[in-house]
Structure 1
Amino acid sequence: MDEYNKILNPLKAEELLIRASQIGFDASCDILTGNFLRLLVASRKQINILELGTGVGHSTAWILEGMDESSKLYSVEMNEECSSIAKEILGNDQRLELIVCDGAEYIMEHANRRFDIIFADTWPGKFYLLEEVLKMVKSGGIYIIDDLNPQPNWPEGHGEKVKELITYLESRDDFFISKLNWSTGLILMTRKV
């Protein structure tokens, strides 16, 4: 089975990847992860989604394509250059709120909010402030992270942080967990009802 066969990219995905390349941004989500995010989002209606780490908006485009008209996506990015590209290309979508700030600030300021899906694609909400973000997942809601298999852009020692993160997430009894050794390596967790 060829998992790449018949994947239709969102309309603006290619433009976003070109712009990412022009500024040297190499951390856009993998096409398989994007397709998976779109599928997850499309399975739910009238939801609130939090994306931590917009980058230039590649994963954002996949999420938006899966969303119904009554859903809302809050996407947080601290890099103004990346965020400006996302705003330029995706900013006309009324379902999207692009927030330019440090993910840690957003988490602390919105700790009482609850989301149906949280995609943590940056350090805050994944490697620190994890407890705070997991509390932001609604009952029956989904927490998803990627880039858990070795990546060429990992800093030295990052592999140990990833192992510790996985071990910790495996130990939780308030979520169901699925580890997907596929794409860039994903963990999908659902808060128990």
Structure 2
Amino acid sequence: MDDTPSHLPASLPALRQRAREAGFIMSSEDRTGSLLAALAASHPGGRILELGTGLGAGTAWLLDGMDRDAALITVELDPVVQAVGRELLGADRRVTFVTEDGGAWLERYDGAPFDLVFADTWPGKFTHLDEALALVAPGGIYLIDDLLPQPGRPEDHARSVRRLLAELDRREDFRCVRLDWSSGLLMAVRTG
């Protein structure tokens, strides 16, 4: 079976071009993106959080799956990197861009929970995990990627992944599934 997505967000070619020009190699992989779009579509009128906007590829996929009543908050530390996503996707009223350290944002956020949390950066995944999981609504989904070895990852990435997976396996309030697919994913659904 060919798992290449048959539908791509309209903004993705421009985002890819800008990533090539910037030498940015951390954009969400298309298979991960297609899963993001499907998960976003599964929550009509849903509240979605993305930690790690990057240049906006994951953001584009999420927006592509969202209905007109859904809302997305995307958080990125680097304003130069996030500026590309703001430029190409910022006209969409469903998205709110936040330029801030993800860990600091998680520590101070006190709003409503989210139906889908996509942690695509260290805060919310390798740090501030409890804060990110606390923001997942009952029945909501927590998704992380980049769990397999890849270029550009820190030297201790594999050790961090092992520690993270062990911590998630111990939790009784989430049902987890690991996917040895795309960049290496884990999806967890809040059960408690």
Q: TM-score of the superposition, structure 1-length normalised?
A: 0.96
Q: Per-residue displacement from partner, 1:23-78 (whole Å, max 9, x unpaired)? A: 12110000000001001111111111000000010010000010011110000011
Q: Per-residue displacement from partner, 1:112-153 (whole Å, max 9, x unpaired)? A: 531110000000000011011101111111000001111111
Output the CA distance in 2 between the equivalents of 1:133 and 1:167.
17
Given residue 2 of structure 2, which amino acid in structure 1 is its aligned partner?
D
Matched, 1:152 2:174: no
Correspondences of 1:163-174 after superposition (within 5 Å): 163-174=162-173
- Structure 1, unaligned stretches of length 5 or more? none
Output the CA distance in 2 between the equivalents of 1:43 and 1:156.
36
Output the CA distance in 2 between the equivalents of 1:104 and 1:43.
27
**Which residue is equivalent to 2:76?**
77
Given residue 173 of structure 2, which amino acid in structure 1 is its aligned partner?
D
Percent identity, aligned pairs only? 42
RMSD: 1.0
**Which residue is equivalent to 1:99?**
98
Output the CA distance in 2 between the equivalents of 1:38 and 1:12.
14
**Which residue is equivalent to 1:60?**
59
Output the CA distance in 2 between the equivalents of 1:170 and 1:47.
26
Correspondences of 1:154-193 after superposition (within 5 Å): 154-193=153-192
Output the CA distance in 2 between the equivalents of 1:55 and 1:63.
13
Output the CA distance in 1 between the equivalents of 2:156 and 2:58.
26
Q: What SS does the aligned partner of 1:117 have?
A: strand
Q: TM-score of the superposition, structure 2-length normalised?
A: 0.97
Q: What SS does the aligned partner of 1:107 have?
A: helix
Given residue 2 of structure 1, which amino acid in structure 2 is its aligned partner?
D
Given residue 3 of structure 1, which amino acid in structure 2 is its aligned partner?
D
Correspondences of 1:105-124 after superposition (within 5 Å): 105-124=104-123
Output the CA distance in 1 between the equivalents of 2:59 and 2:111.
23
Q: Per-residue displacement from partner, 1:89-124 (whole Å, max 9, x unpaired)? A: 000000000111111111111045311100000000
- Asked if structure 2 preserves the Cα contact closer than 8 Å seen for 1:10 and 1:62, the reply is yes
Q: What SS does the aligned partner of 1:25 have?
A: coil
Matched, 1:142 2:136: no
Q: Per-residue displacement from partner, 1:143-164 (whole Å, max 9, x unpaired)? A: 0000111111111121111111
Q: What SS does the aligned partner of 2:158 have?
A: helix
Output the CA distance in 2 between the equivalents of 1:80 and 1:132.
23
**Which residue is equivalent to 1:51?**
50
Aligned length: 192
Correspondences of 1:32-47 after superposition (within 5 Å): 32-47=31-46
Deviates further, 14-23 or 140-149: 14-23
**Which residue is equivalent to 1:13?**
12
